[in-house]
Amino acid sequence: MSDDLKKGIKVGLSVCPTFIAIFIGVGIAAEVAGLSPIITLLSTVTMFAAPAQFAMFDMAERGDVLLQVISVGVLVNLRFFVMSLTLTNIFHDVSRTRLIYWAQFVSASSYLLTFFQSRRNESVDLFDFYRGVTFMTYTAALVGTVIGVAIGVGLPALLAFGATLFLPIYFSLLLVGDTRGRYEVSAVIIGLLFTPPLEMALPGWGMFITAIGAGLVIEAVKR
Protein backbone atom coordinates (compact mmCIF):
# COMPACT_ATOMS: atom_id res chain seq x y z
CA MET A 1 0.00 0.00 0.00
CA SER A 2 1.51 3.35 -1.05
CA ASP A 3 2.00 6.25 1.37
CA ASP A 4 -0.35 8.40 -0.73
CA LEU A 5 -3.10 5.78 -0.53
CA LYS A 6 -2.62 5.70 3.26
CA LYS A 7 -2.77 9.50 3.32
CA GLY A 8 -6.07 9.39 1.42
CA ILE A 9 -7.44 6.82 3.87
CA LYS A 10 -6.40 9.00 6.80
CA VAL A 11 -8.05 12.10 5.31
CA GLY A 12 -11.14 10.10 4.33
CA LEU A 13 -11.47 8.96 7.93
CA SER A 14 -12.28 12.56 8.93
CA VAL A 15 -15.52 12.59 6.94
CA CYS A 16 -16.56 9.00 7.74
CA PRO A 17 -18.88 9.88 10.66
CA THR A 18 -20.88 12.23 8.46
CA PHE A 19 -21.09 9.64 5.69
CA ILE A 20 -22.29 7.00 8.13
CA ALA A 21 -24.90 9.41 9.52
CA ILE A 22 -26.16 10.40 6.05
CA PHE A 23 -26.45 6.81 4.88
CA ILE A 24 -28.17 5.75 8.09
CA GLY A 25 -30.76 8.28 6.91
CA VAL A 26 -30.83 6.57 3.50
CA GLY A 27 -31.45 3.20 5.18
CA ILE A 28 -34.26 4.64 7.28
CA ALA A 29 -35.86 6.43 4.28
CA ALA A 30 -35.75 3.20 2.27
CA GLU A 31 -37.45 1.31 5.10
CA VAL A 32 -40.19 3.94 5.22
CA ALA A 33 -40.63 3.75 1.42
CA GLY A 34 -41.00 -0.03 1.70
CA LEU A 35 -37.81 -1.18 -0.06
CA SER A 36 -36.38 -4.58 0.78
CA PRO A 37 -33.01 -4.51 2.61
CA ILE A 38 -31.25 -6.04 -0.42
CA ILE A 39 -32.56 -3.41 -2.86
CA THR A 40 -31.67 -0.68 -0.33
CA LEU A 41 -28.10 -1.92 -0.09
CA LEU A 42 -27.95 -2.36 -3.87
CA SER A 43 -28.98 1.28 -4.30
CA THR A 44 -26.02 2.41 -2.20
CA VAL A 45 -23.61 -0.03 -3.87
CA THR A 46 -24.55 1.05 -7.39
CA MET A 47 -25.53 4.72 -6.96
CA PHE A 48 -23.48 5.88 -3.94
CA ALA A 49 -25.38 9.19 -4.01
CA ALA A 50 -27.52 9.92 -0.95
CA PRO A 51 -29.43 12.98 -2.29
CA ALA A 52 -30.60 11.04 -5.36
CA GLN A 53 -31.52 8.02 -3.23
CA PHE A 54 -33.58 10.23 -0.89
CA ALA A 55 -35.34 11.85 -3.86
CA MET A 56 -36.18 8.49 -5.45
CA PHE A 57 -37.55 7.02 -2.21
CA ASP A 58 -39.63 10.13 -1.63
CA MET A 59 -41.10 10.05 -5.14
CA ALA A 60 -41.97 6.38 -4.92
CA GLU A 61 -43.82 7.04 -1.65
CA ARG A 62 -45.89 9.68 -3.44
CA GLY A 63 -46.74 7.14 -6.15
CA ASP A 64 -44.77 8.58 -9.10
CA VAL A 65 -44.13 6.29 -12.07
CA LEU A 66 -40.95 4.32 -12.71
CA LEU A 67 -39.54 6.52 -15.48
CA GLN A 68 -39.98 9.67 -13.37
CA VAL A 69 -38.20 8.03 -10.45
CA ILE A 70 -35.25 7.04 -12.67
CA SER A 71 -35.10 10.48 -14.32
CA VAL A 72 -35.03 12.30 -11.00
CA GLY A 73 -32.39 9.87 -9.69
CA VAL A 74 -30.15 10.76 -12.63
CA LEU A 75 -30.87 14.50 -12.76
CA VAL A 76 -30.16 15.05 -9.06
CA ASN A 77 -26.72 13.57 -9.76
CA LEU A 78 -25.89 16.02 -12.52
CA ARG A 79 -23.37 17.64 -10.15
CA PHE A 80 -21.12 14.60 -10.59
CA PHE A 81 -20.57 15.66 -14.20
CA VAL A 82 -18.98 18.95 -13.08
CA MET A 83 -16.98 17.17 -10.38
CA SER A 84 -15.55 14.67 -12.87
CA LEU A 85 -14.84 17.52 -15.26
CA THR A 86 -12.66 19.11 -12.57
CA LEU A 87 -10.97 15.80 -11.85
CA THR A 88 -9.85 15.55 -15.51
CA ASN A 89 -7.25 18.21 -14.65
CA ILE A 90 -6.03 16.20 -11.70
CA PHE A 91 -6.04 12.69 -13.27
CA HIS A 92 -4.65 13.69 -16.68
CA ASP A 93 -1.97 10.97 -16.67
CA VAL A 94 -4.13 8.12 -15.33
CA SER A 95 -5.01 5.32 -17.77
CA ARG A 96 -8.59 5.09 -19.01
CA THR A 97 -8.84 1.48 -17.88
CA ARG A 98 -8.34 2.56 -14.26
CA LEU A 99 -10.67 5.52 -14.65
CA ILE A 100 -13.48 3.29 -15.98
CA TYR A 101 -13.54 1.53 -12.62
CA TRP A 102 -12.77 4.39 -10.25
CA ALA A 103 -15.17 6.89 -11.86
CA GLN A 104 -17.98 5.08 -10.04
CA PHE A 105 -16.75 6.48 -6.72
CA VAL A 106 -16.76 10.20 -7.54
CA SER A 107 -18.66 11.94 -4.75
CA ALA A 108 -18.60 15.47 -3.34
CA SER A 109 -16.15 14.42 -0.62
CA SER A 110 -13.77 12.28 -2.69
CA TYR A 111 -13.65 14.97 -5.36
CA LEU A 112 -13.29 17.98 -3.02
CA LEU A 113 -10.69 16.37 -0.77
CA THR A 114 -8.62 15.42 -3.85
CA PHE A 115 -9.16 18.92 -5.28
CA PHE A 116 -7.90 20.57 -2.07
CA GLN A 117 -4.93 18.17 -1.92
CA SER A 118 -4.01 19.05 -5.53
CA ARG A 119 -3.69 22.73 -4.55
CA ARG A 120 -0.96 22.01 -2.02
CA ASN A 121 2.63 22.02 -3.15
CA GLU A 122 3.21 18.44 -2.07
CA SER A 123 4.50 15.59 -4.17
CA VAL A 124 1.53 13.24 -3.91
CA ASP A 125 0.12 10.66 -6.32
CA LEU A 126 -3.36 12.22 -6.42
CA PHE A 127 -5.01 9.16 -7.92
CA ASP A 128 -3.76 6.99 -5.05
CA PHE A 129 -4.91 9.69 -2.63
CA TYR A 130 -8.38 9.71 -4.28
CA ARG A 131 -8.56 5.92 -4.04
CA GLY A 132 -7.76 6.12 -0.32
CA VAL A 133 -10.46 8.73 0.33
CA THR A 134 -12.90 6.72 -1.75
CA PHE A 135 -12.16 3.52 0.14
CA MET A 136 -13.18 5.19 3.41
CA THR A 137 -16.22 7.09 2.13
CA TYR A 138 -17.64 4.13 0.20
CA THR A 139 -17.13 1.79 3.15
CA ALA A 140 -18.78 4.34 5.46
CA ALA A 141 -21.74 4.63 3.06
CA LEU A 142 -22.25 0.86 3.05
CA VAL A 143 -21.90 0.62 6.84
CA GLY A 144 -24.33 3.52 7.33
CA THR A 145 -26.93 1.96 5.01
CA VAL A 146 -26.74 -1.37 6.85
CA ILE A 147 -27.09 0.36 10.23
CA GLY A 148 -30.01 2.44 8.94
CA VAL A 149 -31.85 -0.63 7.69
CA ALA A 150 -31.06 -2.58 10.88
CA ILE A 151 -31.89 -0.04 13.56
CA GLY A 152 -34.34 2.24 11.75
CA VAL A 153 -35.17 5.32 13.78
CA GLY A 154 -33.57 3.96 16.95
CA LEU A 155 -30.30 5.94 16.60
CA PRO A 156 -29.72 8.24 19.62
CA ALA A 157 -30.41 11.85 18.58
CA LEU A 158 -27.24 13.17 20.22
CA LEU A 159 -25.07 10.71 18.28
CA ALA A 160 -26.82 11.53 15.00
CA PHE A 161 -26.34 15.27 15.68
CA GLY A 162 -22.61 14.87 16.39
CA ALA A 163 -22.02 12.70 13.34
CA THR A 164 -23.56 15.24 10.95
CA LEU A 165 -21.10 17.93 12.09
CA PHE A 166 -17.90 16.38 10.77
CA LEU A 167 -18.43 17.24 7.10
CA PRO A 168 -19.28 20.97 7.51
CA ILE A 169 -16.54 21.50 10.09
CA TYR A 170 -13.97 19.71 7.96
CA PHE A 171 -14.86 21.65 4.81
CA SER A 172 -14.83 24.93 6.81
CA LEU A 173 -11.27 24.18 7.89
CA LEU A 174 -10.23 23.33 4.33
CA LEU A 175 -11.81 26.50 2.94
CA VAL A 176 -10.16 28.72 5.56
CA GLY A 177 -6.78 27.12 4.92
CA ASP A 178 -6.90 26.84 1.12
CA THR A 179 -8.85 29.76 -0.34
CA ARG A 180 -6.56 32.25 -2.09
CA GLY A 181 -7.22 35.63 -3.67
CA ARG A 182 -10.35 37.72 -4.01
CA TYR A 183 -11.94 35.66 -6.81
CA GLU A 184 -11.75 32.44 -4.83
CA VAL A 185 -13.00 34.19 -1.69
CA SER A 186 -15.90 35.53 -3.77
CA ALA A 187 -16.74 31.99 -4.94
CA VAL A 188 -16.80 30.82 -1.31
CA ILE A 189 -19.01 33.73 -0.19
CA ILE A 190 -21.46 33.15 -3.06
CA GLY A 191 -21.60 29.45 -2.17
CA LEU A 192 -22.19 30.18 1.51
CA LEU A 193 -24.90 32.79 0.97
CA PHE A 194 -26.88 31.50 -1.98
CA THR A 195 -26.89 27.72 -1.55
CA PRO A 196 -29.42 27.54 1.35
CA PRO A 197 -32.13 29.76 -0.24
CA LEU A 198 -31.73 28.10 -3.64
CA GLU A 199 -31.84 24.65 -2.04
CA MET A 200 -35.09 25.63 -0.34
CA ALA A 201 -36.53 26.87 -3.62
CA LEU A 202 -35.22 23.97 -5.72
CA PRO A 203 -34.40 21.00 -3.46
CA GLY A 204 -31.50 18.96 -4.81
CA TRP A 205 -30.50 21.64 -7.34
CA GLY A 206 -29.60 24.70 -5.27
CA MET A 207 -25.97 23.81 -4.63
CA PHE A 208 -25.32 22.91 -8.26
CA ILE A 209 -26.97 26.05 -9.65
CA THR A 210 -25.22 28.29 -7.10
CA ALA A 211 -21.82 26.80 -7.91
CA ILE A 212 -22.22 27.12 -11.69
CA GLY A 213 -23.58 30.64 -11.19
CA ALA A 214 -20.60 31.57 -9.00
CA GLY A 215 -18.17 30.32 -11.65
CA LEU A 216 -19.94 32.18 -14.48
CA VAL A 217 -20.28 35.47 -12.55
CA ILE A 218 -16.64 35.50 -11.46
CA GLU A 219 -15.40 34.64 -14.96
CA ALA A 220 -17.58 37.46 -16.36
CA VAL A 221 -16.22 39.94 -13.79
CA LYS A 222 -12.63 38.91 -14.59
CA ARG A 223 -13.17 39.73 -18.26
Task: Scan residues 75-114 and list those touching another protein (CB under 8 A).
Answer: 77-89, 91-92, 96, 99-100, 103-104, 106, 108, 111-112
**Which C-beta is closer to another protein: that of 139 or that of 184?**
184
CB of 168 to another protein, least distance (A): 4
**Which C-beta is closer to another protein: that of 6 or that of 81?**
81
> CA torsion angle for 97, 103, 109, 110 (degrees, to 10)?
0
CB of 140 to another protein, least distance (A): 15
Produce one character per residue of 178-209: b if its CB has 16 or more CB atoms within 10 Å, e if not: ebeeeeeeebeebeeebbeebbeeeebbbbbb
The only residue of 32, 150, 153, 165 in contact with another protein, by rule CB under 8 A: 165
- Sites for another protein among residues 118-157 (CB under 8 A): 157
- Sites for another protein among residues 172-201 (CB under 8 A): 172-177, 179, 183-184, 186-196, 199-200
**146, 103, 179, 138: which is closest to 8 by C-alpha?**
138
Task: Specify whether the CB–CB gap between 105 and 87 falls below 8 A.
Answer: no
**Which C-beta is closer to another protein: that of 4 or that of 25?**
25
Rounded CA separation 214/211 (Å)? 5
The only residue of 32, 42, 150, 153 in contact with another protein, by rule CB under 8 A: 42
Query: Which among 37-45, 128-136, 138-146, 147-155 is the span making contact with another protein, rule CB under 8 A?
Result: 37-45
CB of 91 to another protein, least distance (A): 7
Under rule CB under 8 A, how many of the chain's residues touch another protein? Answer: 92
**Which C-beta is closer to another protein: that of 78 or that of 151?**
78
Answer yes or no whether residue 216 interacts with another protein by CB under 8 A: yes
**222, 17, 22, 13: which is closest to 135 by C-alpha?**
13
The only residue of 8, 12, 27, 73 in contact with another protein, by rule CB under 8 A: 73
**Which C-beta is closer to another protein: that of 1 or that of 176?**
176
Q: In one letter, which amino acid is 186?
A: S
Rounded CA separation 179/85 (Å)? 20
Rounded CA separation 5/184 (Å)? 28
| Length of the chain (residues) | 223
